[in-house]
């Protein structure tokens, strides 16, 4: 079983459309994240949720809306897509307790906005 799974893996859409990316983790972790990796390979944190509560929002446009129905799921909805939203979006999870600093990443969802 994949520990952190994201769907879809590839997404091609037109500017102005609304799209969602789903993420699920079966590790029993308390915290989940969305990262964005641009064409230059910089990985930037976008959001972090702990037990369904938003704890980090890194100045992401409000067109991006994360939703966590339970602590095993963190979905990302993007409204009015723009060309600059093209990137690979990674979901990740971690134990939110004292312990090893290991983030578990999904395989990424490549979003292309035309």
Partner 1 sequence: LAKTTQPISMDSYEGQEVNITCSHNNIATNDYITWYQQFPSQGPRFIIQGYKTKVTNEVASLFIPADRKSSTLSLPRVSLSDTAVYYCLVGDIQKAGGYNKLIFGAGTRLAVHP
Stretch that binds partner 1, among 17-25, 39-47, 66-74, 75-83 (CB under 8 A): 39-47
Q: What are phi and psi of 85, to 5 degrees?
A: -80, -10
Q: CB-side exposure of 17: number of CA atoms within 13 Å?
A: 13
Residue 44 near residue 36 (C-beta atoms within 8 A): yes
Structure tokens at 26: 């079966």
Per CB under 8 A, does 5 bind partner 1?
no
Per CB under 8 A, does 28 bind partner 1?
no
Q: How far is the CB of 81 from partner 1 (least distance, A)?
A: 22
Per CB under 8 A, does 14 bind partner 1?
no
Structure tokens at 79: 């409204």
Distance (Å, rounded) from C-alpha 92 to C-alpha 30?
11
Q: How far is the CB of 103 from partner 1 (least distance, A)?
A: 6
Residues that bind partner 1 (CB under 8 A): 4, 31, 33, 35, 40-45, 48, 50, 55-56, 90, 92, 94, 96-108
């Amino acid at each position: 079983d994949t520990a952190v799974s994201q769907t879809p893996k590839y997404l091609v859409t037109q500017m102005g459309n609304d799209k969602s990316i789903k993420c699920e983790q079966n590790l029993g972790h308390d915290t989940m994240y969305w990262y964005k990796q641009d064409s230059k390979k910089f990985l930037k944190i976008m959001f972090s949720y702990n037990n369904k509560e938003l704890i980090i929002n890194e100045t992401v446009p409000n067109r991006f809306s994360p939703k966590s129905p339970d602590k095993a799921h963190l979905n990302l909805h993007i409204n009015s897509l723009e060309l600059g939203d093209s990137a690979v979006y990674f979901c990740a999870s971690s134990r939110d307790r004292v312990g090893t600093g290991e983030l578990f990443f999904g395989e990424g969802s490549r979003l292309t906005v035309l």
